[in-house]
Structure 1
Amino acid sequence: MFGLIGHSTNFEEARAKARSLGFEEFAEGNLDMWCSAPPQLVERLEVTNPSGKKIEGAYIDSCFVPEMLSRFKTARRKVLSAMELAQKSGLDITALGGFTSIIFENFNLLKEQQIRSTTLEWQRFTTGNTHTAWVICRQVETNAPRLGIDLRQASVAVVGATGDIGSAVCRWLSQRTGIKELLLVARQQQPLLDLQQELGGGQILSLEEALPQADVVVWVASLPQTLSIDVDKLKSPCLMIDGGYPKNLDSKANGAGIHVLKGGIVEFFSDITWQMMEMAEMANPSRQMFACFAEAILLEFEGIHTNFSWGRNNISLDKMDLIGAASLRHGFEALSLSLQPDASLAMAPA
């Protein structure tokens, strides 16, 4: 069985979700009550691939919300408790979705293998980052040409280049895609220099320097609320892949010739009966999901019960090839642009 660990995008959404699922005590509770609330296995589901193979899984809500990020002990406890519940529920491979994987990595929860009486078995968990990186790269390769952008002549900026997903995207773009110029953007200089040396190239720039030069911008970092983008300085056309979390780039970059695509999202070939993607505000919630969640489903279909994506900057091109081939084989497609006659943007499967 596969598992998915997720959370709501904000506290009010979490309360609304609790009410819709019949958890009235959660719906009426304040943030302090939610900080002490245990994770909940809220949904069981079945997924059938194109060849007819069926697998079963479960969705666990960690009862974490982003408003808790400043509370280190609470965030740590939420993630570890959700992992404990997944293990005790007999889930063989579980994906950490949204902020749960970020908390796990940034707070170095590998040091916290013991949670109450349970010793967490790391091989049961995956961040899903390998599949997310592969999907984002596929979105670049598929959608840039549709906008008239020749990747062999294009400059591609990766914002958040030194992160787990960002560095994997950089490896793929530099070695597989044949782009003209890779622009590396991140907050810390030394990791950028290390990445540049690993890649054997790439230009290190600030965000302000990179954006006007980029034909394609891959965002794999969360956008600060205070960030302002001067759309008049962007190229036209410009493809922007919003691979961060939460996905709010479309509110920052909105103008003629700018095409924002939600990155790291896939669509299954048939409907899945579940509620959780409705809460995530997917355009087609019965089929669309985060690629990190889909990684757990793919690993279950493949019978690979191991921590496939684990640790920072460990994603290899071979692993991206493996999970990418599995993704196509089992009925997933990366979300793509749907270009209307007036060039406005909508969301649709590739």
Structure 2
Amino acid sequence: MFGLIGHLTSLDHAQAVARDLGYPEYADQGIDFWCSAPPQIVDTIKVTSATGQQIEGKYVESCFLPEMLASRRIKAATRKIINAMAHAQKHGIDITALGGFSSIIFENFNLSQIQQVRNVTLEFERFTTGNTHTAYIICQQVKAASAMLGINLSDATVAVCGATGDIGSAVCRWLNARTDIKDLLLVARNQERLQNLQSELGRGTPMDLETALPKADIVVWVASMPKGVTVDPTTLKRPCLMIDGGYPKNLDQQFSFEGVHVLKGGIVEHSLDIDWKIMSIVNMDVPARQLFACFAEAMLLEFEKWYTNFSWGRNQITLEKMDMIGQASVKHGFRPLLDLNRQPLAAKAS
């Protein structure tokens, strides 16, 4: 059995979803209540592969909200993730994906040092961040969507925002090894990690976001920003492809400028309907078919019986593992989302 640990995008979103899922005691509560709310299994999932194989899983709502980071409730945030992992393991789930901020919090706060959660000894091999499949899907989106827009990669400048993160560094490795892009711009906060990445790649120009955006034909957003960013669309190239792989999204999905195209990054479409309800409450356009690639990684590991933490640790994603999970993804009927939003861009306020 596979598991998915997720969270919602905001307090308002969480209150609305709680009401829809039949948890009225959660629906009108503020952030302090959500800081103490325990994890819940709120969905049972059935997935059929393109091969005909069927698997079952559970969705674990961690009750983490991004506001917990913004309001410096760090201890509550870390406790949410560890408790959700213990909850999944206690229910006998073989492999569980840490979605959204779950994996980021786990890595950034070294939660691997916390192995005992009450009466549960965490077995970390039961968990995966799902980042390898996410990186693979984003790279396929870069390749396919740029061709759709007439952007020739050999002439293109690509900016990766969040370049030193687990997914960002993997995307940079793939761009460096598997394409002939003209220029690679590396955007991240940690200058030491930026220099290390540049040395590893043997190319790439570290640059701040404001300087990088006007130069980029393609922008890959994989930074962790709870409140998103402000972008002045008038400074962007035309055409400009923006692949937003964050959750919550770094960019608002409303648009207002011709020639700027935003694609929901790290999203896959399955070839068959999935029996679940959870994707309808995280605003997927086709909730029976579309899902986060990190969640799909747990499904793929279950299909293949690869019960291991396939994606784990910072900057450990290799091209070989991306190829491996990519082949499994195609085999079982997943494909990258390529629905380009061709309406105008209005960036989320910071």
TM-score range, shorter chain: over 0.9
For residues 96 and 179 of structure 2, the distance between their equivalents in structure 1, rounded to whole angstroms, comes to 31
Deviates more, 1:304-313 or 1:266-275: 266-275
State the match for 2:31 in structure 1.
31
Whether the 8 Å CA contact 2:3–2:57 is kept in 1: the answer is yes
Shift of 1:224: 7.0
Shift of 1:223: 4.6
State the match for 1:5 in structure 2.
5
* CA offsets 1:40-83 (integer angstroms, 9 cap, x no match): 01111111111110011000101111222221221111111110
- 1:144 match: secondary structure: helix
Q: How does 1:76-155 map onto structure 2 within 5 Å?
A: 76-155=78-157
Whether the 8 Å CA contact 1:183–1:210 is kept in 2: the answer is yes
For residues 91 and 188 of structure 1, the distance between their equivalents in structure 2, rounded to whole angstroms, comes to 36
Equivalent residue letter for 2:21 = L
State the match for 1:51 in structure 2.
51
Whether the 8 Å CA contact 1:250–1:260 is kept in 2: the answer is no
Whether the 8 Å CA contact 2:39–2:84 is kept in 1: the answer is yes
Gaps of 5+ in 1: 346-350
Shift of 1:165: 0.5
Whether the 8 Å CA contact 2:214–2:236 is kept in 1: the answer is yes
Deviates more, 1:29-38 or 1:248-257: 248-257
For residues 10 and 186 of structure 2, the distance between their equivalents in structure 1, rounded to whole angstroms, comes to 31
For residues 231 and 92 of structure 2, the distance between their equivalents in structure 1, rounded to whole angstroms, comes to 46
For residues 216 and 265 of structure 2, the distance between their equivalents in structure 1, rounded to whole angstroms, comes to 17
For residues 24 and 334 of structure 1, the distance between their equivalents in structure 2, rounded to whole angstroms, comes to 36
* CA offsets 1:274-333 (integer angstroms, 9 cap, x no match): 111111001111111111100000110011000011010000000000011111110101
Greater RCO structure (CA 8 Å; 6+ sep)? 2
C-alpha RMSD over aligned residues:
1.8
Equivalent residue letter for 1:305 = Y
State the match for 1:170 in structure 2.
172
For residues 142 and 313 of structure 2, the distance between their equivalents in structure 1, rounded to whole angstroms, comes to 25
Call closer, same or farther: CA 1:226–1:20 in 2, change over 3 Å: closer
Equivalent residue letter for 2:85 = M
State the match for 1:348 in structure 2.
none
Report the identity percentage.
61
State the match for 1:321 in structure 2.
323
Gaps of 5+ in 2: 345-350
Whether the 8 Å CA contact 2:3–2:97 is kept in 1: the answer is yes
Whether the 8 Å CA contact 2:253–2:262 is kept in 1: the answer is no
Whether the 8 Å CA contact 2:226–2:248 is kept in 1: the answer is no
Whether the 8 Å CA contact 1:62–1:79 is kept in 2: the answer is yes
For residues 315 and 117 of structure 1, the distance between their equivalents in structure 2, rounded to whole angstroms, comes to 32
Equivalent residue letter for 1:136 = I
- 1:241 match: secondary structure: strand
Shift of 1:24: 2.2
Whether the 8 Å CA contact 2:263–2:340 is kept in 1: the answer is no
Equivalent residue letter for 1:147 = L
Whether the 8 Å CA contact 1:8–1:14 is kept in 2: the answer is yes
Equivalent residue letter for 1:298 = L
For residues 31 and 259 of structure 1, the distance between their equivalents in structure 2, rounded to whole angstroms, comes to 35
Call closer, same or farther: CA 1:179–1:279 in 2, change over 3 Å: same
Q: Which of 229, 232, 235 is 2:234 aligned to?
A: 232
- 1:169 match: secondary structure: helix
For residues 303 and 231 of structure 1, the distance between their equivalents in structure 2, rounded to whole angstroms, comes to 45
For residues 209 and 199 of structure 1, the distance between their equivalents in structure 2, rounded to whole angstroms, comes to 21
State the match for 1:196 in structure 2.
198
State the match for 1:212 in structure 2.
214
